[in-house]
Amino acid sequence: MAHDPIDTLGNARHNMLVKAECSCGNVRYCRSADLTMVYGGGFDPLKLEFDCSRCKPEIKVTLLEVHPEPQLFITF
Q: What gap in Å lies between CA 43 and CA 74, rounded to an integer?
A: 21
Each residue's pLDDT tens digit in the chain (76 positions)?
456 778 888 888 777 888 888 888 888 888 888 888 988 889 888 888 887 777 766 667 888 777 666 655 556 5
2 falls within a domain: no
Task: State how many domains the chain has.
Answer: 1
pLDDT of residue 1: 45
Q: How many CB atoms lie within 10 A of CB 38?
A: 10
In a domain, 33, yes or no: yes
Report if residue 50 sits inside a domain: yes
pLDDT score, position 9: 86
Q: Is this prediction's pTM over 0.85?
A: no
Domain coverage including residue 51? 9-75
